[in-house]
Amino acid sequence: MPADYVDWLRREGRIVIVGASLAGLRAAETLRAEGFAGELTLIGDEPYEPYDRPPLSKSVLLGKASPHRTELPHRREIDAKWRLGVAATGLDLSAKRVKLADGDEVEYDRLLIATGVRARPWLKADEGRLDGVCLLRTRDDAADLYQRLKAGPRRVFVIGAGFAGSEVASACRETGIPVTVAERAGAPLVGALGGVIGAVAADLQTENGVDLRTHVTVTSLEGDSVGRVRAVHLSDESVVEADVVVVSLGSVRNTDWLTGSGLGAGPRGIACDAGCRAFDFRGIVTDDVFVAGDVARSPHALFGYQFLSLEHWGNAVAQAETAAHNMICHGADRRPHLWMPAFWSSMFGVNIKSVGVPPMGDQLMITQGALAERRFVGVYGYQGRVIAAVSFDNARWLEFYARQIERGAPFPVEFPTMDRRPEGRQPVAADFPDPSLPTHGPTVTLTGYSPADQQLVFHPARH
């Protein structure tokens, strides 16, 4: 590669971004902010310009924001060619071309993949097509679900009590709609926060009138004679009548279009180095394909260099900025993406926030407040160090714990706190479910996983 390639690229190169959502937009803005003057193309499968998703399961369902008006503000002019409403269907790494669903092909000098994830559909496709069976990922999904909630359904049934499912249940209760939530694990949010915190989330739901069913799975959805969903059958043989069913079973990474491209892309995302450069299927780093956002998985020094794939809003922004910077600078000027994982949720009037990677933790200490008050900070420990923290209505402490995680502070937590209750003096097991259970796909993937392997097989360690 000639020494002036990067200078040429910055002046007149062609950069293509596949994925026109939060990460794609912020990457485009960063490219221009850092002086990229060449041709910029953004490709998105939805017909809309980039919009924000977190409000879709919160203020939109509460009727406080329109699902059609959550477009993201632009930080600057990006002077891009937009190809919206057309999906990318293939990638030719050697010819440096992205193939589009309409038959067109777009050439690039450098490519950024930010195709994110989509909602995991109901496992039986014919039942999933019943009228009243909803997903919640896109703005069209949110508009549809909002209309159905507004019509005053007799009962809403939510399959899956992760963050999205719990937020839907919360919105239903706040608007007075009866709601049943089914969760395969023993409590809501256990995959993200473990059983101890999950028990608090369970109390929160039941006290707000949610009919919470745990340790059950949905076996089938029953439709009426005109194809509307009318009942949900559960593994404990109970039947719940409902006219809206929200399938909230997590997400699937949008990597199908890369099958056969030679890129290290699979069901767990696209592997990349700390500088956001994608690996090919042989584990060799590419230098012209970059990855950012939910679809990326990259090694993180703070978490044992394991590959993290984070479906976090802040990660999409930070990784996009780093990827964009690295795309148009010389090797020595590149930066690693070492963002401190953080997320938020809000349900039943409680603000839930977290830093670090809670599912890596095996022990938990309540360091501020008390579980019973639902106002607390829980700190997760892993091999003698602080690895994560979660807060319920106590967010101002998280910055402090983020610093503790960064410096590898010891666990159990030793510093005195102002309001430490008896329950916080001893660490307890954080009680995460077995990550090999298929419903609890790990957010942290062991490095032994081959990114070329498209055929993941789960071997549950216990039954």
Partner 1 sequence: MRLVVDLNKCQGYAQCAFLAPDVFAMHGEESLVYNPHAPEEQRERLARAVAACPVQAITADGLDGAGEQSTGSAQEARDAR
- Closest by CA position to 77, among listed 31, 38, 123, 22: 31
CB of 33 to partner 1, least distance (A): 4
Query: Strand 133-134 and strand 244-247: pairing?
Result: parallel
The Cα–Cα gap between 213 and 242 comes to 14
The Cα–Cα gap between 165 and 291 comes to 28
Beta pairing partners, 277: 290
Q: Residue 395 corresponds to which tokens in the numbers above?
A: 């967010």
Site for partner 1 in 341-360 (CB under 8 A): 342-344, 346, 348-351, 353
Q: Residue 171 corresponds to which tokens in the numbers above?
A: 């919105």
Measured from the CB atom, the residue of 10 and 277 that comes closer to partner 1 is 10
CB of 54 to partner 1, least distance (A): 7
338 binds partner 1 (CB under 8 A): no
The contact pattern for partner 1, residues 60-89, with x = CB under 8 A and - = no contact, is --x-xxx--xxxxxxxx-------------
CB atoms within 10 A of CB 143: 15
The contact pattern for partner 1, residues 311-330, with x = CB under 8 A and - = no contact, is --xx--x---x---x-----
Query: Of how many residues is the chain composed?
Result: 463
CB of 391 to partner 1, least distance (A): 9
The Cα–Cα gap between 163 and 346 comes to 9
Measured from the CB atom, the residue of 226 and 418 that comes closer to partner 1 is 418
Measured from the CB atom, the residue of 333 and 419 that comes closer to partner 1 is 333
Task: Collapse the DSSP code of 124 into the 3-class scheme (helix H, G, I; strand E, B; otherwise coil) and give the result.
Answer: coil
- Tell me how far the alpha carbon of residue 355 is from its chain's centroid: 14
Please state whether the peptide bond connecting residue 412 to the residue before it is cis, i.e. omega within 30 degrees of 0. yes
**How distant, in Å, are the alpha carbons of 199, 346, 402, 463 from that of 187?**
6, 17, 26, 17
The contact pattern for partner 1, residues 201-220, with x = CB under 8 A and - = no contact, is --------------------
The Cα–Cα gap between 180 and 157 comes to 5
CB of 347 to partner 1, least distance (A): 9
CB of 447 to partner 1, least distance (A): 27
The Cα–Cα gap between 40 and 31 comes to 9
275 binds partner 1 (CB under 8 A): no
The Cα–Cα gap between 396 and 410 comes to 21
CB of 68 to partner 1, least distance (A): 9
Measured from the CB atom, the residue of 208 and 254 that comes closer to partner 1 is 208
Measured from the CB atom, the residue of 350 and 452 that comes closer to partner 1 is 350
Measured from the CB atom, the residue of 70 and 363 that comes closer to partner 1 is 70
Report which residue type is found at 18: V
58 binds partner 1 (CB under 8 A): yes
Select the span of 40-48, 82-90, 125-133, 392-400 touching partner 1 (CB under 8 A): 392-400
**Residues engaged in binding partner 1 (CB under 8 A):** 29-30, 33-35, 52, 54-55, 58-59, 62, 64-66, 69-76, 313-314, 317, 321, 325, 333, 342-344, 346, 348-351, 353, 375, 393-396
